[in-house]
Each structure stands twice: as C-alpha cells, then as structure tokens.
Amino acid sequence: MARPAGGVEYVVAARELLRSAKTAEELRRAQAVLLPLDLGLSLEQTARAIGRSVNATCAIRTRFAKVAEGVMAPPQAKTALRNHALADLEREASILDEVLADAQKGGIVVIPQLKPLIEEKVGKPMALSTVYRMLARHGWRKLAPDTYHPQGDAERREVWKKNCPKP
C-alpha cells in the first residue's frame, strides 16, 4: 500500500487556486493537490485524472508546496518571460521617451531614421521590425493621413467629382 498523501496545510491555497484558475495548468495544479487529499486517490489515479504522468504529477505537487511556502516563485506564462528581450519594459519606455521627444510635441517621426539612435541606446543592433514592435508595445501607432477630411460632406464631394471640369 502506498503512503498517504501529505500536504494538508496547502488545501486552503489549492481550493483558492481551484476557484480562481484561469488556465488549464492552474486547474491541474490545484487538482493535483486536492484529489489525493479530498478523495483519497493515489498518485497514479490523480495523474490519470489530470492527464499527466505520475512523475509530472509528483513534480506539480512538490512545486505547489514550494510556492505556497514561499521558497519558489509562482510559474509565469511563457509570454511574460520576455526571454529574448533586449531591455526590460521600463528601460524601453525611457529609451523611447528620450528618442521620441519631438514626436510628443507633434513632430513627424520617421522610424528608419530613429533606428540607429535606439540601437545606440540599447547597445545592440536591432531589426526594423523589432523597433516597430517596441513602439507598438508602448502605445505608439502608425498614423497615415486620411484620404478625406473627417468633417467633410460626402454628398458635396461626390457631386464635385461628377461635375468637375475634365482637363
């Protein structure tokens, strides 16, 4: 017979995670702790129920305990890691504030001309697409002139097109 599951001290945290889970992985984490304690399932049965291997289920339970004790940081989403970032978000914002000072006053910004300045501040070469993504990340967007005035009269414009003199 297998030994009884431990971790009774983490039941409250697991139930809270179960209620507030937004992803399937968070739900599995809570279930890996609660199923053996509440329903008396073995580790093999718990692994089958949550769709993971026995080793992975054991690792999930251990990691949950370490996070609950404060020994480990909770897992982050892959998109939140920014593994290949050239600078953190605060540094990017400060670089853009320095480089785009004219644009905040209403000046025209030409990104390919700003690319060398941004590369100099970051200290590494960057692709132009990276510069555009950095700008988008911090709320800058490409503005192009409209083809017509927003307060213009569409009917008068069509009448003018029909009746304008041909060259």
- pLDDT tens figures, 28-40: 999 999 999 999 8
CA distance 137 to 89: 9
Q: Model's pTM, two decimal places?
A: 0.52
Contact 75, 17 (CB under 8 A): no
| 106 has pLDDT over 80 | no
Backbone φ and ψ of 111, nearest 5°: -65, -45
Contact 87, 124 (CB under 8 A): no
CA distance 160 to 152: 12
Model confidence band, residue 56 (pLDDT cutoffs 50, 70, 90)? very high
Provide the mean pLDDT of the chain.
87
